[in-house]
Structure 1
Amino acid sequence: MVADSLRSWLIDSDPALRWQVERDLLDEPSGVWEATRARVATEGFGARLLALQDPDGQWAGGAFFPADFDSSAAPGQPWTATTWSLNSLREWGLDPSVLRARRTVELLDDNSRWEYDNLPYWGGEVDCCINAWTVANGVWLGADVEGIVQWFLEHQLPDGGWNCEWVEGSTRSSFHSTLNSLKGLLQYDKAIGATERTRAARQTGEEYLLRRKLLYTLSTGKHVGPWVDQFFYPSRWTYSALDAADYFRQASLLDGTAPDPRMEEAIGVIRAARQSDGTWLQGRPHPGQVWFETDVPEGERSKWLTLIAARVLTWWDSYYR
């Protein structure tokens, strides 16, 4: 699954990354990677971020932005508030019982409000991406997010996807918004079990991306944007061929389906970015304040991107090579 020369390099990692390497690339027994995953709560990135949680259940005093956020103070969005912190802990594999023991769901219900219209945290707001992350974090922690799931079913656009700018009247879907929406629905289907409506919504959204081969606009046949083949970790809200392919890998594992052949060109883009030593290099991450760095600077060999890209290619090649 991964070159022998990279095994030691990848294994010498924070538990948040190492357990995924063990599971997805090294095919270790479940007891091995589960033991590593359990360390996320007490070591490294996970423990550091847990220590930064506020007594009221939030991070940085805010839902999507820190309480003291000043858009004119520095370039980029800060990535320290509650939603971004929960996203990280979930993606790193933290056992949700750790946050449940802290009554995080209840505390956020009582204390956290969206910057948009002061709406309650677990009720979501009007942005597709924000609502998708809230669904994913909610089902992970056991919060009631059924209302937001229903919202997604009602706000899917006629072309099959979603767009965070629907509030401004947009009727054409966005690659970014569609992928993030699909990720939220996938986490719901994993945790709760797919209903006919959530499965149908997800399949329709997937078809929106697949018709475009994960890369192109239908109108011009050109790359949808310069970000489509730019890979960096963490990806935040940004679409890329790699991020989309990893979503389809996870959906395939859940649904028991083979990769769609229309992904072939996107897989080629991912394969072309692999260096001669089998690694992928860090791109240019979003600017903005972070609690601490979790990957290497731009241009250096990224363990996170190597993990994600290698597991995508392993999945694809198991069917088509």
Structure 2
Amino acid sequence: MDEAVARLLKSDDPAVRWRVRTLILGEPADGAGVRALQDEVRRSPRARAILRSAAGLHPYAKWRGAHWALLALAAIGYPPADSDVFPLRDAVLDHWLTARYLRDRDVSRVTKATGEAAVPRVDGRSRRCASQQGGALLAVVRLGVDDGRAELLAGRLRDWQWPDGGWNCDRRPSTTMSSVNETLLPMRGLLAFADATGDRQARETALSAAEVFLCRRVAWRRTAPAPIAPDVIKLHFPVYWHYDALAGLIGLAEAGLLGDPRCEDALGYLESRRLPDGGWSADARYWRTADHGSNTESVSWGPTSSKASNEWVTCDALTVLTAAGRA
């Protein structure tokens, strides 16, 4: 692991070096060295491309719209409270806090019309893709650009939480379990908000959401020794609104819950995936590089190969194992 960390610290990408120094080596975020590195991130081709690509797109355009640009900038250590981010923040919050998302309506079934008028609630369960508001909350808090509306996002997420702790946008009235895809970003966003503000309700909501992952041992079905889905035991970066074992462990690390025995299988699986050079590979990806079309990225997030290490996946894996005391 020392070799893997040393190699990452020599990366050409300042964002990789920032992730190693803050998330793995534990350097304070307000230290002079880390701040200087964040300024290097701000001026980097990666950050400028992410900012530039969001211009003129729908806020949720995959994967270059303002919503995804904010999440990417937060992930790479872009410096806080930078004015270049304000237009993206405004586009995202204006979109996710329009009137339709601020009112709830009890219905017997969800239709296009009911979904466009309010957040539909069937048998007491709000049918909302909470990864959208959760992702926005995570990004604006991490980037230090909250203009007072983060509290409203956190409140809406609390209102929509299901009895089992998570969230789901499944329209079928028979659906009674939360979705791991729709629960991860709300949990992480609420944790970030609680850390920034001391909001106890937000932390309690996030910790109850963690049960959605813990009761599945992070990546496995509750009633059978099989993965939740084939893609869940593949490693990706970024995961966007998707979910995999490594992303789940990152969220549980932020919640301080990796010591829970139900994380053991996923941690062991992650360790088993280490390559001979000490790194980890990206098994698959949800992005592509092209001039146009859906799921198009403005930057590359490294190779997808079973034999070659991916810097971003390696950073996440080492972050998890460090937090678990297994590095």
Could you state the TM-score of these two structures normalised by the residue count of structure 1?
A: 0.80
Cα RMSD for the two superposed structures: 2.9
Superimposed CA distance per residue, residues 71-130 of structure 1 (whole angstroms, 9 cap, x where no aligned partner): xxxxxxx31111011110111111232236755545666xx546999879xxx9742110
Aligned partners of 2:85, 2:64: CA distance in 1, in Å?
22
Cα deviation for residue 135 of structure 1 reads 1.5
1:132-147 counterparts in 2 under 5 A?
132-139=134-141, 140-143=144-147, 144-147=149-152
Answering whether residue 70 of structure 2 is matched by residue 86 of structure 1, we say: yes
1:255-270 counterparts in 2 under 5 A?
259-270=259-270
Q: 1:14 — aligned with what?
A: 13
Q: 1:148 — aligned with what?
A: 153
Aligned partners of 1:241, 1:310: CA distance in 2, in Å?
14
Is the alpha carbon distance of 1:275 and 1:171 closer, same or farther for their aligned partners in structure 2, counting shifts above 3 Å? Answer: same
Cα deviation for residue 145 of structure 1 reads 2.8
Q: 2:111 — aligned with what?
A: none
Aligned partners of 1:191, 1:232: CA distance in 2, in Å?
28
Moved more, 30-39 or 207-216: 30-39
Aligned-pair identity (%): 23
Is the alpha carbon distance of 1:25 and 1:149 closer, same or farther for their aligned partners in structure 2, counting shifts above 3 Å? Answer: closer
Cα deviation for residue 206 of structure 1 reads 1.0
Q: Is the 8 A contact 2:66 2:88 kept in 1?
A: no
Aligned partners of 1:118, 1:153: CA distance in 2, in Å?
17
Is the alpha carbon distance of 1:210 and 1:108 closer, same or farther for their aligned partners in structure 2, counting shifts above 3 Å? Answer: closer
Cα deviation for residue 61 of structure 1 reads 2.1
Structure 2 unmatched runs, 5+: 103-117, 120-127, 288-294
Moved more, 268-277 or 22-31: 22-31
Aligned partners of 1:61, 1:118: CA distance in 2, in Å?
21
Aligned partners of 1:221, 1:86: CA distance in 2, in Å?
37
Out of 166, 174, 179, which is 1:174 matched to?
Answer: 179
Moved more, 218-227 or 12-21: 218-227
Q: Is the 8 A contact 2:138 2:192 kept in 1?
A: yes
Is the alpha carbon distance of 1:228 and 1:28 closer, same or farther for their aligned partners in structure 2, counting shifts above 3 Å? Answer: same
Q: 1:278 — aligned with what?
A: 278
Answering whether residue 40 of structure 2 is matched by residue 39 of structure 1, we say: yes
Aligned partners of 1:27, 1:117: CA distance in 2, in Å?
41
Is the alpha carbon distance of 1:84 and 1:11 closer, same or farther for their aligned partners in structure 2, counting shifts above 3 Å? Answer: same
Aligned partners of 2:206, 2:77: CA distance in 1, in Å?
23
Q: Is the 8 A contact 1:249 1:259 kept in 2?
A: no
Q: 1:234 — aligned with what?
A: 238
Superimposed CA distance per residue, residues 41-89 of structure 1 (whole angstroms, 9 cap, x where no aligned partner): 11231133234453xxxxx421112xxxxxxxxxxxx311110111101
Aligned partners of 2:191, 2:37: CA distance in 1, in Å?
25
Is the alpha carbon distance of 1:100 and 1:187 closer, same or farther for their aligned partners in structure 2, counting shifts above 3 Å? Answer: farther
Q: Is the 8 A contact 1:249 1:312 kept in 2?
A: yes
Is the alpha carbon distance of 1:105 and 1:23 closer, same or farther for their aligned partners in structure 2, counting shifts above 3 Å? Answer: closer
Q: 2:218 — aligned with what?
A: 214
Determine helix, strand or coil for the equivalent of 2:296: coil
Moved more, 206-215 or 290-299: 290-299
Out of 163, 170, 178, which is 1:158 matched to?
Answer: 163
Aligned partners of 1:28, 1:244: CA distance in 2, in Å?
24
Q: 1:202 — aligned with what?
A: 206
Answering whether residue 297 of structure 2 is matched by residue 313 of structure 1, we say: no
Q: Is the 8 A contact 1:100 1:141 kept in 2?
A: no
Structure 1 unmatched runs, 5+: 55-59, 66-77
